[in-house]
Amino acid sequence: MGTGEFRVQKPETRIQNGGPGAGHDRNRLGDFGSCPKPSAVLAGGLVRTYRRGTEKIQALKGIDLDVRRGEFVGVVGHSGAGKTTLLNLIGLMDRPTEGRLEVLGTDVSRRGVRLDALRRKNIGFVFQEFYLMPTLTATENVLLPTMWGAARDMTEIGSAISGRVPSRDRAKELLNLVGLGHRLTHKPSELSGGEMQRVAVARALINSPRLLLADEPTGNLDTATRDSIFSLLLALNRDSGLTVLVATHDLSLESRFSRVIRLEDGNVV
Amino acid sequence: MIWFKLAFKNLIRRKTRSTLTVAGVAIAIAVLYSLFQFQQGYQSQLKGELGALGAQVMVVPKGCPYEAATIALHGGKWPRYMDESLLDKVKANPGVAQAAGVIMDAVFAPGNKNVILLGIDEDYMKLRPAWRINGHWFDGDSSVIMGSTAAQDTGVKTGDYWVVPEKNARLHVVGVLNRTNTQDDGFVFMPRKTLQKISGLEGKLVLILVKGRQVEKTDALVASLKASEVDMNVFPLSELLGTISSLMASTKVFVSAIILIAVILGGVGVLNTVLMAVFERTREIGMMKAMGGSRGDVFKLVWAETILTTVIGGLTGVVVALVSSRLVEALIRGMIPYAPKGSLIGFSLPTLAMCVVLSLVLGLVAGFYPAFRAASVKPVEAIKAE
């Protein structure tokens, strides 16, 4: 897991000048030279079917997908196209009904694979709604994921529980990274929508994930804030080589992704 | 610790609801603490009072021994008397080391205060080695010694004269007892002959306190006294303790039922509150899982919240019980025929520990189902849910 691989630089130097896929040649997850980068997400014939009463709904209808490590990929499509379902599967919050899905080299479509542990160690999530704990400060919200599974993992997560400085420092580092160094002790009610989403981004990064999934991260934000959050995600990809998948229905953002996966009615088009 | 910090912060998000839930538990635990402590205090104070009598055997007129014991312990007017000649018969028993005959009466002092009069002699004094008299022993028939509380209530001190209410007898206060922390503090002592005379009870006794030569042969002494005279009740004080305790024990079932109902209601209140909070926080819980929280993590968090609620409630309940102990004690005393004097509901570390442990168990039980429900939340469905 990418412990300590995420190098903090001054936020302004990273957020500016970000172009699509600008970070690909600086992938710190491995030096692959001229070899093709390994897959972060590999899916074949991915089907997800739900039941709503007696009705059977096929949200994904056999999707093939290969997202390479370090890519900045947009999953675009209209509402109901299957974007969230796809992200949930990739984010290990759900299992496919049919098909094969490999995330960061692990076949997660197999029964018996512990998804929560894999998710905790490898995947960061950003949602349209920020889901920050209203009683916790920005720093505490960022630290929240370090609580989970600490007793089992015994990694650097444990240091958060024991109150050792590095985790809190890392939270501050990440808040600095997302431009909220001056809001460390503010509670969500004292933050703007854009600031809350930045806290959510920092929170998604606290466990040093290898894959960042963002589901409509700018859906609740105004245009200026949307651009700034988007630039932040882009900078993260560019500067750290983090694989980022963003689901959005905002077609105006398409040009900013290194690659776009277009979904329509559960199919890639 | 971070778990409990987060759990605590979650609780204070819904201040009113959490406060009401804590109050529910606090009331249940306060009832538990008060009633339990009352029973404990009752037993220990009763033992103390009986021990303060300085005797192992009590001889009283025929009648209800429970009533006789109440009179013996707290004093009062009891229209049953023994002939004073029985005292000599008791003293003649070879197993008796000391025997003190007592006559009692009660009068109302100004302000409607009940004053208990005890007619005693030097034999009674011998059963009270701990007595310290501020003054001296009776120096004549018109002498009186005041218990410390009785002296305060009547407003007299050593050297004063005191007119016995209702009796029109003027007595010289020759001494005031230093505080004994027993029932003696509330009594007014005078020579037995004096009280018999002013109360018109010449030749009568209300009770005889008997100290045996050998404590381990108390049963034999009782049997021997019973055999010698049929016109009196003879019983060891240990039996009296047992009798009163068994009377109290009969209320134990009732009291336990009240406690059980209060605790169950408190637990159901907690379960309801936590379950509601879990339903309301479905998306948040889904979010925790999305961030890597496992079933166990979510279970622990919700359980911690419940335990925190019940333990805070339990501690609050103990504080409430201690603060309201006088009121509760007065209420309970009003409902039972006999209760020892002194404070019955006090601070007790073992009872406090018992209440905390019970609160903890209540939290564990009441929190299990909500924690299970929370742990079962599927992140995908939770995040979708509106």
> Which domain, by its residues, includes A169?
69-96+114-263
* Torsion sign across C-alpha atoms B317, B318, B323, B325: positive
Residue B225 is encoded by which pair of tokens? Answer: 């006294």
Note the ipTM here: 0.70
CB-neighbour burial class of residue A40 (10 A; exposed 0-12, middle 13-18, buried 19+):
buried
Q: For residue B250, give Cα distances in angstroms to A250, B39, B166, B258.
A: 77, 12, 40, 14
For the segment A137-155, the average pLDDT, to the nearest whole number, is 71
Please tell me the predicted confidence (pLDDT) of residue A156. Answer: 42
- A2 belongs to a structural domain: no
**Binned average pLDDT, 10 residues per bin, chain B of 386 residues:** 74 85 90 83 73 76 71 69 86 88 86 84 85 90 91 89 87 91 87 91 88 79 78 76 68 78 88 90 85 85 91 92 84 70 78 91 93 88 65
Regarding predicted confidence, which is higher, B166 or A161?
B166
Q: Which 3-state string (H, E, C) describes chain A? A: CCCCCCCCCCHHHHHCCCCCCCCHHHCCCCCCCCCCCCEEEEEEEEEEEEEECCEEEEEEEEEEEEEECCCEEEEECCCCCCHHHHHHHHCCCCCCCEEEEEECCEECCCCCCCHHHHHHHHEEEEECCCCCCCCCCHHHHHHHHHCCCHHHHCCCHHHHHCCCHHHHHHHHHHHHHCCCHHHCCCCHHHCCHHHHHHHHHHHHHCCCCCEEEEECCCCCCCHHHHHHHHHHHHHHHHHHCCEEEEEECCHHHHHHCCEEEEEECCEEC
- A209 belongs to a structural domain: yes
Please tell me the predicted confidence (pLDDT) of residue A219. Answer: 80
Number of domains in chain A: 1
CATH number of the domain enclosing A199: 3.40.50.300
- A149 belongs to a structural domain: yes
Regarding predicted confidence, which is higher, B322 or A156?
B322
- A231 belongs to a structural domain: yes
Please tell me the predicted confidence (pLDDT) of residue B386. Answer: 46
Please tell me the predicted confidence (pLDDT) of residue B245. Answer: 67
Domain locations along chain B: 2-48+244-384, 62-231
Regarding predicted confidence, which is higher, A259 or B5?
A259
What value, to the nearest 5°, has the Cα angle with vertex B237 and ends B232 and B241?
Answer: 120
Q: In this complex, do A148 and B2 lie within 8 Å of one another by their Cβ atoms? A: no
Please tell me the predicted confidence (pLDDT) of residue B74. Answer: 64
Minimal-distance CA residue of chain B relative to A160: B2
The secondary structure element, H or E, covering residue B110 is none
Minimal-distance CA residue of chain A relative to B382: A93
The answer to whether residues A257 and A246 touch, using CB atoms and an 8 Å cutoff, is: yes
pLDDT mean across residues, chain A: 78
- Answer whether residue A27 shows pLDDT above 60: no
- A73 belongs to a structural domain: yes
Q: In this complex, do B2 and A160 lie within 8 Å of one another by their Cβ atoms? A: yes
CB-neighbour burial class of residue B254 (10 A; exposed 0-12, middle 13-18, buried 19+):
exposed
| DSSP code, position B178 | P
Please tell me the predicted confidence (pLDDT) of residue A157. Answer: 42
Out of A117, A119, A127, whose CB is closest to B383?
A127
Spacing of C-alpha A261 from chain mean position: 16
Q: Give the 3-state secondary structure of residue B118.
A: strand
Rounded distance, CA B94 to CA B188, Å? 32
Residue to substitute from A89, A116, A120, A136, interface B, most B β-carbons within 10 A = A116
For the segment A34-58, the average pLDDT, to the nearest whole number, is 83
Rounded distance, CA B26 to CA B11, Å? 16
Show which residues on chain A lie within 8 Å of chain B, measured between beta carbons.
84, 88, 91, 93-94, 116-117, 119-121, 123, 125, 127, 129, 131, 133-136, 144-145, 147-149, 160-161, 163, 203-204, 207
Q: In this complex, do B380 and A88 lie within 8 Å of one another by their Cβ atoms? A: yes
Q: Percent of chain A, pLDDT > 70?
A: 80
Please tell me the distance in Å from B356's CA to the nearest CA on chain A. Answer: 26
- Answer whether residue A145 shows pLDDT above 90: no
Rounded distance, CA B185 to CA B161, Å? 19
